[in-house]
Structure 1
Amino acid sequence: MNARPDGRDLPRTDGVRHPPRYLLHNPLLRSLARRRLSRQYDVRVTGAEHLPRRGPVVVAANHIGWLDGPLLGIVLPRPVHAWTKDDMFTGRTGTFLAQAGQIPIDRFHPDPRAVKAALRVLRAGNAVGIFPEGNRGDGEVRRFHRGAAYLALASGAPVVPVALFGTRLPGGALDSRPPAGSRIDVVVGAPVPVECQPWPRTREQVEALSRLLQGRLRDHVDAVRVATGLELPGPMPATEREPDPATAINDEHTARSRTEEHHD
C-alpha cells in the first residue's frame, strides 16, 4: 500500500506547510557549501548510489559530533530535512536552521508538529534525516528511538542507513570539531524497504521495525569499520554527555525482548 501524496492519510498533513526549500534545495548554494567544506576537511562520500534519487526516503545516521547534521544536508546527493533538537533554534544559528528547512523537535515530549512536518516532507517526495540515537555519543547505535520507524510506516518511505566517521575525535567535547584537514567519511548503506501501514499504526509494528532498523544501522556501522579500519571516537567525556529521554530501545531492552521471544 502506498501513501497518498495529497496529505489526507492520517495523521493529515494537507494543511501543513513544507519546511523552507530555497536554501537547502538550491543547487548553486549546495555546490558552494560542498566546496567550502572540502577546503576544510577531507570528506569522502561512498555508497551514494544507494540513496534513491526520487521519492520519499528516511535517512537514519549514527551521531557522534556537531558536524553530523550539516554533513547530511550538504554532501548527500539530495537535500535532507533533518529533525533537529529544538533548543538549537535560537539566535542566528536558529534562524539559519529554520531557513535551511531543518525541522525542530522537542525530544522530551510528544511533538505532533515535528511529526507532521516530517511527514509533509516525505509525502512531497523529499528526504527526512534522523539521528535515532537521539544525542551525540559513541555512534555505536546502542540506543534507538522510534521516530524513523514511525515515519517510514506512515509514509512507505525506505530507510537508508548512513555511517558517519571522523566528525569528532576521541575524547572530543560535545561541540568540538576535528582539526582542519581531518578525514571525514560518510558511507551510505543499502535502503531498507518499508510498506506503508494504514492508520492506526500499532505500537507492536513500530517496535518491530525499530528493532530491525537498529540492527541494520548497527550492522552497517560495523561493516564500514571492518572494511575501512576506521574507528568511532568512543563516548563523550563524562561532563559533556547530553540528556536523552528514557524512551529509546537500548541494548538491555533488545536483549531482554529476544530472551522473552525465545522462551515464548
Structure 2
Amino acid sequence: MDFYQFAKTVVFNVLKPIYRMEVIGKENFPAEGGILLCSNHIDNLDPPMVGICSPRPVNFMAKEELFKVPILKSILPKVHAFPVKRGLSDRQALRVAIDTLKDGQVVGLFPEGTRNKSGKLGKGFSGAGFFALRGNANVVPCAIIGPYKPFRKVKVVFGKPIDMEPYRETKAKAEEVTQVIMDHIQLLLNEHHPENK
C-alpha cells in the first residue's frame, strides 16, 4: 500500500463515523482517462472528503502557503497535492495541472476558488473552463452537501461526465465552459439537497 492509499484509509476511518458519509454516483466516474473533478466548496474538509470518496486518486491544487508548514510540506506531495500561488497567474501550477490531465490522471478543483458558507453556489473562475478545454479530459461535476456537523450526514455526489469535445470543436471560451460546469454542479445540488426534496 502506497502512502496515498494509507492516508486515504486513515482519513476515511476518522471521518466516516463523524459525518456519516454517503457517496452517490460512483458509477459515473470513468475508470480511466484524464478527469477534471469540479466541486462546490463549503468547508476546509472538502478536499479530504472528496479525495476519500473518489474511486480514483485525486491531485489537488493547494495554496502555496501550506507547503511552508513544517509537517504539511512533506505530507502534501505524497497525497498528490501541488502548490499554486493564489491571486496570481501561476504558470507552473497551470502546466502541472494540464500535464496531469493529459497523463490520464484526476485533477480536483473547486471553481469557486474559496469556501462559500452561504449554502448557495458562487461564481466559478474561468480557470476551470481553461483546464477542461486544454487538458484533454472530461469533467466530472461533484456536489458536497453538508453541513459538516458531528453525526449529521454529509453527501458527496458525482455526476455524469461532461464531454468537452463539442466545446473544443466550437472553440468555446473558458468562461462559457466554466458556467456549463457550474450549472451541472447546481443541478446535483438541486436534486440531492434535502431541502429540495
Shorter-chain TM-score tier: 0.7 to 0.9
Partner of residue 27, structure 2: 49
Q: Partners of 1:230 and 1:31 in 2: how far apart?
A: 32
CA contact (8 A) 1:67 1:167 kept: no
Tell me which structure has the larger Cα radius of gyration.
1
Superimposed CA distance per residue, residues 92-116 of structure 1 (whole angstroms, 9 cap, x where no aligned partner): 1333222211121112010011111
What's 1:214 paired with?
A: 182
Choose 154-163 or 89-98, whichever is displaced more: 89-98
The residue type paired with residue 14 of structure 2 is: R
How far off its partner does 1:151 sit?
A: 1.1
Deviations, residues 86-144 of structure 1 (Å, cap 9, x unaligned): 22223213332222111211120100111111112111111000000110113522210
Distance in 1 of aligned mates of 2:38 and 2:125: 11
Question: Structure 1 pair 139/124, CA: closer, same or farther in 2 (3 Å)?
Answer: farther
AA aligned opposite 2:182:
Q
Bigger helix share: 2
Q: Which residue of 2 aligns with 1:154?
A: 134
In 1, Cα distance between the equivalents of 2:40 and 2:178? 14
In the alignment, what sits opposite 1:185? Answer: 155
Aligned residue pairs, count: 193
TM-score, structure 2 as length reference: 0.87
Q: When the two structures are superposed, what TM-score results if normalisation uses the length of structure 1?
A: 0.66
Percent same amino acid at aligned positions? 28
Give the gaps of 5 or more residues in structure 1. Answer: 1-21, 169-177, 232-264
> What residue number does 2:92 align with?
113
Q: Distance in 2 between matches of 1:184 and 1:127?
A: 22
Whole-angstrom distance in 2 between the partners of 1:131 and 1:148 = 8
Answer with 122-131 or 140-149: which moved more: 140-149
AA aligned to 1:229 is E
Letter in structure 1 aligned against 2:38: A
Query: Deviation at 1:46?
Result: 0.7
State the shift of 1:213 in Å. Answer: 1.5
Q: Which shifted more, 207-216 or 184-193?
A: 207-216
Which structure exhibits the higher relative contact order, with contacts defined as CA atoms closer than 8 Å and separated by 6 or more residues? 2
